[in-house]
Chain A
């Protein structure tokens, strides 16, 4: 596949990029070397802020607003992209170098049909005429295993699903048969089951056209499936680079090893509660929906003190709706929610202060969960003052206690605004706000899905510790089975608003499974370069384009 003797397709030497913040330029990429041959796939991995995307964009000779390339060279097939005139660079972009962004939904123009957007680049660059481009689109849609390839192009972006849109975008990137495609986290926003389809489709098409690719992701297991070589970045510097196999088997650097180690974290299941113990929260036969359309059908499960129940399923399976029923935001049309054996009023409006206090929630997006205009003192202090009636010095003391509890230095953080915190710190403040109410039960709605692995790991450990110290019951909503393995005692699998399977974690991870649970479990990427091949073979899927 690789022809190492040739001159490389892309050669980046000593790349330095500076970003401007608060009127000062600071280096965000500190001397990266990168070589890519024709038909080769390079995986770029690292946490957010490592400079992956910046390097990816620089491979097109492009920098985001507020960034500039301050040193090094970028040679693409003999052209120096740094010194090439803007016209020359434009000619290459979308034609010989293409880019696939993380969020296809945000990258497609919602006002144009998919096929029109497909045709744009080849027609613009004079590669082919419009009619030819449209015929080509149908062909590529078929190769990308999109359903109904003849007609799907004539739909608008909002009329197809997220996974289909991501594939349509990859097809679009292939439209001018580029020599190089840059994939920037193309599957991060997708469910595990959808992710498989997109990964398989991307890999096929890259192989079929012998396209070189840079695959940017923070998910190690994903990159293991896609890349020939892996380069690990940390804070704008290269940590190490090696063949995928070598990298997986024997990472050299301590940082890489720590990334690998996260995956293996798991907590043993706690012993189940006795039958005579009243569950903290008991969802009984809940049916609920928005307007006329029911979203939940007869959902029942119990959550006991000191135990974590993970609710898993794809997006749209009713996980978050269940949480809304429990919190009282969405009164159910049938069934009830019991708290310590007594039924809760269906709407939060009719619940009393103590009932509200006992059940708290931690949100997925810490950015929108904290009022940006309030200081940490007020965010955490408000529930303390509101529920427990503390004020003045005792309030401040309690806030400081809570900050220490979530492992943030009180003096340093108490007067900050949310915008002055990192993603992981924000999520910790979200946890502190929930704890401030001194609840018995906390709903964690995808609390780690927006975070990097190492940071997420820290949050999970913290939640685990707090559970032990404060006897909390958790309902953990997630689509990530690695998280389930790490934190859950019991698992509830949901699909299309119904509970498909539930039971203890150990039992759930041991076959036999319900077919849907099996599908979810098998879709979680594993740290094995041949996992995807094996899985596709098992599922009996033939590569497209035969």
Chain B
């Protein structure tokens, strides 16, 4: 088709995509409800469509990440044709600036970017939450020490701090994971501490202390179950932020190093194509956006359930 797409056609496209998403989400929910055991099935059946859509998207990403070598038609670093080839039946999404298959690299990107983001968030989370809960329960000088350290770390803008640390330590995936985990754990620490502060004043915590319970039991059995809801919500948000940080660092050239496929660097490598009105370079960005939205849908739902809100 020549010339700009008429407005009504765009509207029809958007409506179609939306309808497909809703349909897929509904179908997926029904499928899940059938497959799941009785208790879980009821929960899933009553889940909002946004949540099942989120679950579906996450599932697709996980499959893509796990089975990338099986699904992908070409190798991750394989040059398979000319530069910037258009979409066709062989190269489903065309090729990139070096002639590598775009679809293949998107799949491997899921593996690299999502995997690294997951590990980083997990690290940031365990460190931040454990220290935050500990600070709230023990209090006193330990709380002061941890909280002031966190204050200092948080006073430095996150991205600049990450760039600084990576420049000092050298760029590698491990370093990047550690640096982002450190920076993000400060945010988790603050939340975990604030949430736990409201819980440690409860009488049941006093009762547990008077019973002579140790720190381990206090934190894991008494406090954590009550702090779980806000922490889970934070996990979802944190995951998105970590994801964006990785992509940002990769875009700036300090994250994952070529030729590893990574969504952030893929946007940068193919940025020239945007000038020509091609949508291909934005696909990795879209993949990031879609996952972010999906994760938040699911987290919203979990939070809603945990807080016991009805309507």
Interface residues of A (CB under 8 A from B): 22-23, 327-329, 348, 351, 353, 356, 361, 363, 365, 368-374, 382-383, 386-387, 433, 437
Contacts and interface: CB of A to CB of B under 8 A. Distances in A.
Contacts of A386: 211-213
B225 A373 contact: yes
B203 A363 contact: yes
16 contacts: A329-B210, A348-B210, A348-B212, A356-B210, A356-B211, A356-B212, A361-B207, A361-B210, A363-B207, A369-B204, A371-B225, A372-B226, A382-B211, A383-B211, A386-B211, A387-B211
A400 B93 CA distance: 65
Nearest to A378: B221
A353 B210 contact: no
A371 B204 contact: yes
A328 B210 CA distance: 8
A160 B210 CA distance: 35
Contacts of A361: 207, 210
Interface in B185-225: 202-204, 206-207, 209-213, 222, 225
Interface string B133-164: 00000000000000000000000000000000
For chain B, the bracket of interface size reads 10 to 19
Given A329-B206, A361-B207, A373 B212 contact: no
B212 A353 contact: yes
Contacts of A374: 225
Q: Which 7 A-B pairs have the closest CB atoms?
A: A373-B225, A369-B203, A371-B204, A363-B203, A356-B212, A368-B203, A368-B202
- Please indicate which of the listed interface residues B202, B210, B211, B213 has the most CB atoms of chain A within 10 Å of its own CB: B211
B222 to A, nearest CB: 6
Contacts of A327: 210
Contacts of B204: 368-371
A370 B226 CA distance: 12
Nearest to A353: B212
Contacts of B202: 368-369
A382 B214 CA distance: 13
A543 to B, nearest CB: 42
Given A363-B203, A365-B203, A371 B210 contact: no
A149 B72 CA distance: 82
Contact of A348 (B203, B209, B225, B228): B209
A433 B207 contact: yes
Contacts of B310: 22-23
A278 to B, nearest CB: 23
Contacts of A382: 211
Contacts of B207: 361, 363, 369, 433
A21 to B, nearest CB: 9
Contacts, number: 45
Nearest to A373: B225
A361 B211 CA distance: 10
Given A329-B206, A373-B225, A386-B211, 16 more contacts: A328-B210, A348-B212, A351-B212, A356-B211, A361-B207, A361-B210, A368-B203, A368-B204, A369-B203, A369-B207, A371-B226, A373-B226, A382-B211, A383-B211, A387-B211, A433-B207
Nearest to A356: B212
Nearest to B222: A371
B46 to A, nearest CB: 10
A310 to B, nearest CB: 21
B177 to A, nearest CB: 32
Contacts of A369: 202-204, 207
Nearest to B209: A348
- Please indicate which of the listed interface residues B206, B207, B213 has the most CB atoms of chain A within 10 Å of its own CB: B207
B135 to A, nearest CB: 18
Contacts of A383: 211
A22 B46 CA distance: 13
Contacts of B210: 327-329, 348, 356, 361
B121 to A, nearest CB: 24
Nearest to B225: A373
Nearest to B212: A356
A372 B228 CA distance: 12
A361 B206 CA distance: 10
A369 B211 CA distance: 13
Contacts of B226: 371-373
B40 to A, nearest CB: 18
A433 B206 CA distance: 13
Contacts of B211: 356, 382-383, 386-387, 437
B200 to A, nearest CB: 12
A374 B228 CA distance: 13
B136 to A, nearest CB: 16
Interface in B222-249: 222, 225-226, 228
A373 B211 CA distance: 18
A233 B310 CA distance: 29
A449 to B, nearest CB: 14
- Please indicate which of the listed interface residues A23, A371, A433 has the most CB atoms of chain B within 10 Å of its own CB: A371
Interface string B252-293: 000000000000000000000000000000000000000000
Contacts of A356: 210-212
A368 B207 CA distance: 10
B102 to A, nearest CB: 48
Contacts of A363: 203, 207
Nearest to A366: B203
Nearest to A387: B211
A369 B204 CA distance: 4
A33 B129 CA distance: 56
Nearest to A434: B207
A370 to B, nearest CB: 6
Contacts of B213: 386
B32 to A, nearest CB: 22
Contacts of A329: 206, 209-210
A330 to B, nearest CB: 12
Nearest to B227: A373
A231 B60 CA distance: 64
Nearest to B228: A373
A90 B310 CA distance: 29
A371 B204 CA distance: 6
A507 B210 CA distance: 35
A183 B60 CA distance: 59
A372 B202 CA distance: 11
Nearest to A419: B308
- Please indicate which of the listed interface residues A22, A365, A373 has the most CB atoms of chain B within 10 Å of its own CB: A373
